[in-house]
Structure 1
């Protein structure tokens, strides 16, 4: 039987990573510079290069799984569509009033980001539906026509519709939809009753607007990518990674691009979750450090931690629950990530007070660090790691990228070491420690700030720079085990290959559990289940290959924020209501450190359902064999390990050399990443090809 391949493609700020996984377990990898003007081009070019190296053809590829930052970049750079919004009279300014939350409590200089829809493009209609869904003031058809005509006259590129309480009764939004369909049938539109039929006015409006804002951009990108793949002789079906860690089809992504905003970082977490299950690791913290950012997340008891909403364009996302409000709120499930502006390309600089700083500005793919010799003049973390002897001073990416270590040395000496009045290696090591401490903040945000002790977890490190920093950071946090997976530098692409197709559904359904009609709640969940089953069946997932999982958002009566608890299979009855109260109380105690007494009523806020489409078999081969031959020549070089150890002659090995275990210091050099094992640590390669470092 012919070998077929799945391709995982992840576009980062610096590199585009491509992994091909064959049905026989063979892996082909490729890392090329991201083509910033046209991201689709880098994918087609990269796949063509892999075909040239391996002799494969486009016909051998069964499926392309893709993580993209196209949607989030459109929001960050304010390059989305010109959107018009139709809302209820009196609610025109919800986008500007927001939730009155501030990310910096005492910063009077902080200004809110500009709304994605300017005020003159926000039109109102005179209608009113109450919170139970009763029509108090019917929408006049002439009023609906007037609002749509006004936006069409302004030449908007997409329309968002979000009326008060439409989650309880969408009749007026449906009328507006019919008017838009009649007057501008091809105009992209986003209606809140279809996009997010949930309570909370600002969150629902913001999410509906974001969906409309990126719709034309994402649709254009996906069309260009499809065209490029077809022209390159690659007819494979295209699946996109969603922010929640599941895959979706390119058609569904074009319809609901709000689900792929944080598509990029999700792949690595999903891959880490799959490998943790095979290694029986119950608790891991994932740490992904690339060229521009570092991201941390948590996998506990085999489940990825998910947030029910997050802010886009909030800059660095260190997930504190209290300091929110910096970006644009998106109320869709997403992997709970903390992110800092710390990567290999982060600039090292001296602030006005004479203190050494690292990031968040980055040299990116162009011009890149000084040592890339592509015109960069500002010293970066990669330059510091070259000077410390951690990175091969001659080349990166298996020799594809030649480094100019001398240029990095002179830039670092001139701009950092000399002004600080210290030896160059101490200045470089200081920059290395500062960026590590910034990233430790992200790890604490997903562990300590969530009521978890990081010492109970293993650190799962990947990304081009993750394995280089992981052991030092783990030592600072009291973590005694670090796992570095195979193809660590390309692991976000690799993780895409482990994901399942997923669709998430939710509906506001406020009921006090002790007084609720459980039959009514069961019927509402059944309706969501039918919707999920129909969507999965349309994509070819039926019977054993379609799986449904329920969950519920709950809070104590009077609270304004919810926590999510899983809902096991079985009848929705009084016993289930008791179980949900108990599960919510346990999650409340785990997250906030306390729970209310048994008399405190628990309120169901919304019902949720995830429909998963599973591949035949596990989809993941038992053993993975890289097509890249590891170099067998062992060398050594001088590396600097701080004041306590100074410069040490450090063996440079391949992953295969760790089969019997070795004590640090040592450096493991690979095509896509470098792993540093400090003095006093022990590293060995396990049966799955992972490097396990014990501190």
Structure 2
């Protein structure tokens, strides 16, 4: 059971290059942090290495921990790299090609060579069976269970390791899907079966089938990883609760995630968004741009009124950056963010046009950037930052890892030679291009939400973000940059600010004027019971939990919907037709900048979210020490026009709070380095945040 008075908690975030750990000892008001290289072949190995390291530094035993909240990129990587299980799909007769047909829509009308995402399940592994449910839920053709068994046996003989089932109109009446699941389980042994009415009970046959296929595709590897990780933790003496971060910024028990791993696709990025939201709330920033940059990717998220924006659907494994429709659609609540292949390990190359191109390929943790001296030879963003003078080779990870400047110089020089420019100018080109790519992504994301970058503060999290934050802010005309304490492991810290959470949705199409509230309330009781049961061991629902009701609404005759919050009484929505219509029109106008007069609204689906109590114990004092805050000066490069400038170097932990400093400057800490340009001023506040005022 989750101890309401738990004193020691651990957050673990596995990234593409580093695994970050943050341990909070609530009784002592202490925070301990660790950063180790990720082990791509077996992520659990790096996690356990960091686990042992942080316990040793804190002077604790594994048995002292009450709980661990864990985020991982395992599921995302499996989908992007197509390294999931061999999966079979069983559909209604005549509909097995829906995951290939999609919406029959080009995501770029004028690109004659556009590449559509390949289905996760090959045609040979798709099967059809006789059954049919009408749009109103009536069973028109009962399921042929024997046909299901025959097709399942055929798929298993072909080597299927997981099976997905998606029948027409199953969200309205899941009886045939449940019967199919029972029939398959009779003959399939331990082979996991995912049915669409349990994974994504929503309208949209293509999106629902895609989500179910993705869930089935990653389920065996998620189960194996979580089983191995939990067993290793138990062997080390950990007896507490292991929770997994969800894409929706909440967490759930391991048992729940085993069955629905599609819910943790954005597990890692959600931690960074939560950290940025917590910082925005503490500083009173109503509008903030969360910017999380690690070794492999950069994530950008809008924070409004202290909360990260969320969506109920997203895409993964896009074939074209920023192009909606070029990825695999996933129906699952998630933090609304933009993720691009831009990190410290992003590789710089010469494009076909003879220009520098950076990313999305990454050197990752192995072999890593050239300066890691682990066999990497291609120039990366980290190599460029080292050559520009931004990084101190003797103080990377607080001196725990030494960087070889000569290796970085050799790698960048190989690129510079092809372009007939100096190594420093090539390094600046890498830095400029990767920063512009991230600024462009932020610019598009903010514009799509109807915002103005000038109204936002930029909150930098992740080991690489403070190196680029000020330069990116200037490109966006953002005047204020915030680098929180322990910025390099902020995503892991964000995990410890997460709340237990569950989401459910039910389909019942109704005109606002003709809602059958008796049926709606029955659906909400069903959702509440389902979510309470699905939370798993270690999480109890009590009077402190919040229930948030919402409806997916549209104008009659439309297909796309907008999510509309509904006033609730406990887990039930309030019966208020006028308020629903008005709330929908406000939400519609906010998204589309217009509303349609004299057209009735209708509800397409009903949603319920359960949120547990917020954790405490995150108010530990920022890390300080008594050493001299001035570490001297060094030359850093600001491009061909400005050239080298002498920058003061400061030790973050001993900087006096409240005193203002001027750029150019470098602020060093164990897990990151902050670059402050010449025309900026900065200070450390009482909470340990470095706040930088940038001239646009």
Whether TM exceeds 0.5 here: the answer is yes
Q: Does 1:18 align with 2:35?
A: no
Question: CA distance change for structure 1 residues 631 and 212 in 2, over 3 Å: closer, same or farther?
Answer: farther
Q: Which runs of 5+ in 1 are unaligned?
A: none
User: How big is the shift at 1:411?
Assistant: 3.0
Instruction: Please give the per-residue CA displacement for 1:475-495, whole angstroms capped at 9, x wherever unaligned.
Output: 121111111111111111111
Contact 1:102 1:324 in 2 (8 A): no
SS at match of 2:442: helix
Which residue is equivalent to 2:316?
Answer: 312
**What is the TM-score of this pair, normalised by structure 1?**
0.94
Contact 2:499 2:613 in 1 (8 A): yes
Instruction: Please give the per-residue CA displacement for 1:223-256, whole angstroms capped at 9, x wherever unaligned.
Output: 1101111222222211111111110111111011
Contact 2:79 2:317 in 1 (8 A): yes
Q: Which moved more, 1:28-37 or 1:633-642?
A: 633-642
Which residue is equivalent to 2:434?
Answer: 435
Contact 1:588 1:595 in 2 (8 A): yes
Cα distance between partner residues in 1 of 2:398 and 2:689: 19
Q: Which runs of 5+ in 2 are unaligned?
A: none
Contact 2:287 2:303 in 1 (8 A): yes
Q: Which moved more, 1:248-257 or 1:109-118?
A: 109-118
Instruction: Please give the per-residue CA displacement for 1:386-428, whole angstroms capped at 9, x wherever unaligned.
Output: 1211111434111111112123223323321x33333433332
Which residue is equivalent to 1:492?
Answer: 491
Which residue is equivalent to 1:455?
Answer: 454
Please give the residue correspondences for 1:357-372 in structure 2 after superposition, counting only pairs within 5 Å.
357-372=357-372
Cα distance between partner residues in 2 of 1:434 and 1:577: 52
Pairing partner for 1:619 from 613, 616, 619: 616
Pairing partner for 1:39 from 34, 37, 43: 43
Which residue is equivalent to 1:273?
Answer: 277
User: How big is the shift at 1:142?
Assistant: 3.1
Instruction: Please give the per-residue CA displacement for 1:52-91, whole angstroms capped at 9, x wherever unaligned.
Output: 3332111111111111111122222222122221111110
Which residue is equivalent to 1:98?
Answer: 102
Pairing partner for 2:217 from 207, 213, 216: 213
User: How big is the shift at 1:140?
Assistant: 3.1
SS at match of 1:543: coil
Question: CA distance change for structure 1 residues 393 and 139 in 2, over 3 Å: closer, same or farther?
Answer: closer
Which residue is equivalent to 1:657?
Answer: 655
Structure 1's consecutive aligned runs of 4 or more residues displaced over 6 angstroms after TM superposition are: 571-575, 627-631
SS at match of 1:307: strand
Instruction: Please give the per-residue CA displacement for 1:426-482, whole angstroms capped at 9, x wherever unaligned.
Output: 332222111111001221232112211111111111111111111111112111111
Please give the residue correspondences for 1:356-395 in structure 2 after superposition, counting only pairs within 5 Å.
356-395=356-395
Question: CA distance change for structure 1 residues 223 and 627 in 2, over 3 Å: closer, same or farther?
Answer: farther
Which residue is equivalent to 2:7?
Answer: 4
Q: Cα RMSD over matched residues? A: 2.2
Please give the residue correspondences for 1:603-642 in structure 2 after superposition, counting only pairs within 5 Å.
603-614=602-613, 618-626=615-623, 632=629, 634-642=631-639
Please give the residue correspondences for 1:335-350 in structure 2 after superposition, counting only pairs within 5 Å.
335-350=335-350
SS at match of 1:120: helix
When the two structures are aligned, how many residues end up with a matched partner?
A: 686
Contact 2:252 2:535 in 1 (8 A): no
User: How big is the shift at 1:595?
Assistant: 2.0
User: How big is the shift at 1:634?
Assistant: 2.1
Please give the residue correspondences for 1:231-242 in structure 2 after superposition, counting only pairs within 5 Å.
231-242=235-246
SS at match of 1:40: helix
Contact 1:394 1:405 in 2 (8 A): no
Pairing partner for 2:60 from 56, 60, 69: 56
**What is the TM-score of this pair, normalised by structure 2?**
0.94
Contact 1:533 1:546 in 2 (8 A): no
Cα distance between partner residues in 1 of 2:550 and 2:217: 29
Q: Does 1:298 align with 2:302?
A: yes
Which residue is equivalent to 2:595?
Answer: 595
Contact 2:320 2:326 in 1 (8 A): no
User: How big is the shift at 1:631?
Assistant: 6.7
